[in-house]
Every structure is written in C-alpha cells, then in structure tokens.
Amino acid sequence: MAAAIGGSLPQMFYSDYVIPNISSFAQYTFQTDGRFTADRKNQVAAFSTATGRSFPAESLLSAIGGTGKKAFNDSVTIQTETAKYNPAGYPNTGLGNALKMVLQLLVTIPSTSLTHVSMGGFDFHSGLVAGNNKLVGGHAGLLTQFSQAVKAFRDDIATAPNNLGQNTIIMTYSEFGRRPQENGTSGTDHGSLSSWFVIGDSVVGGLYGRQPSLLALDLDSGGNPKFGVNSTDLRSIYATILDKWFSHPSSGILGKQFENIPFL
C-alpha cells in the first residue's frame, strides 16, 4: 500500500490504483451529511448497497462501484488499525504529526511500502538568514523543525516491530532548487541545484557528489552551475532507490539506466 499524508496527492502517486491521501485518521472515513448525524448508519448502508451491486464486467459502472467499495473498506481498516498504536514524543509540527502518522501506518498496516509527507516554506527569496548568522532566520528554523521531526521518527522506529528500523529509509526531494548567489534581500531565487537527504539504518552515510563549480565559465546565463559540471543527476538518486531498495528496474520508469550512487 502507498499513502500520502497531508496536503494534496503528489503527482508521483497518480496511478491506476487507489492511493489514499490522509490528512488525519479521524477524518479519513466516509463523509456523511453533518446535518443528519443520526442518519449516518443509513447513509453508509445506502452507499455500500449502491457500490456493491453487480455491473457488467469491464464497464465504467463496475469500475466506479468497485473503486468506491474498496475505498470505503480500506478507510475502515486504516482507521481501525491505526487507532491501536499511538506513539508519543513527536513535535507538534506539521512534519512531526505527519511522520507520526507514517509510523502508525507502518506498524499497523504491514502492507504499507511507500508514504509521502510534505513540508513547505523553503521558498526564501528573502529572510533566509538573519544578518550574517546562518544559525538564525527562516531557513534555520525550518531545518530545526525537519531535524526534530526526523529524529523523533528515527528514535521511534528503532524500537518498532518487524525490524522497521532496518527496513525503512527516508528520501527528501524538492520541486525546484536554488541559485547559489544571494539576491540582495538575504535570500536566493529559483535555481537548478539542491541538496537531498537519504536517511536510514541501511544507508551508507556520507556526502555524495562533488562541490559544484562557481566559476563564471561554469555558470549558465541565469547564474546556475551548468548541468553536469561537478553535479549529480537527480535521476541517479531515484535510480538507486528503485534498483537497490525496491529491486525494481529503474530504466523502465526513468526511460534509461542512470548511474547508481553507493549510498545503498
């Protein structure tokens, strides 16, 4: 099973399969008319009867009915099972709460193999740092939230059943990178480079990739280091995860084979 926690369903989860997008387990249920709460049982029964009917095989009605029935049954299972495990010690932040929900899924729904959480606010065109102190400012605050949430998750999963600590990794990614130069307002503008983290007991730790050249000849017209000049192709990161972690040939997804990075 795959699941997205919070926000909207990420494009990477667009598929022919039903992938839930869950903002809270309490709300992840069949939504009935709030004006008639006493009638919820009848509304659920009517929906179940409608989606459980027999329709011609391979028909649109059959697909709609089957999808609705499965979505409802899965919501009941997820809400019932996750209620059995309620870990503590997570920071009360968006990422902290999301990672707590991820571990609830991993522990109580063993078929969970892929989850997605998000953390916004990194688009710092200004206020990236306060003065010249990189430990103060918007970026430092977000990295602190990230660090605290991931630490709570890692501490928790270390004692979780089914050897989850060894069998779980975290990979970060960003929709876009930044330019290396400050823009004049203590920030940076959209660019082509970014730093990614891969975290887990099975990860071979270290810094991978070389320092991009900031020489004028190695920058493009927008001030970004030119692609391929001391940089790591992000598709190599995806390829490594697919090939080494999921044991799924990455070339079929990425269009061709990219070099694996030895962090796994």
Residue 192 has pLDDT above 90, yes or no: no
What pLDDT, on the 0 to 100 scale, is given for residue 237?
Answer: 96
What are the helix (H) ranges across 26-162?
40-51, 60-82, 94-108, 138-157
Question: What's the predicted TM-score (pTM) here?
Answer: 0.89
What pLDDT, on the 0 to 100 scale, is given for residue 130?
Answer: 84
CB 101 within 8 A of CB 25: yes
Q: How confident is the model over 82-125, as pLDDT tens digits?
A: 999 999 999 999 999 999 999 999 999 999 999 999 999 889 89
pLDDT-based confidence at 257, cuts 50/70/90?
Answer: very high
Nearest CA to 173 out of 139, 199, 135 is that of 199
Nearest CA to 162 out of 94, 199, 108, 237 is that of 108
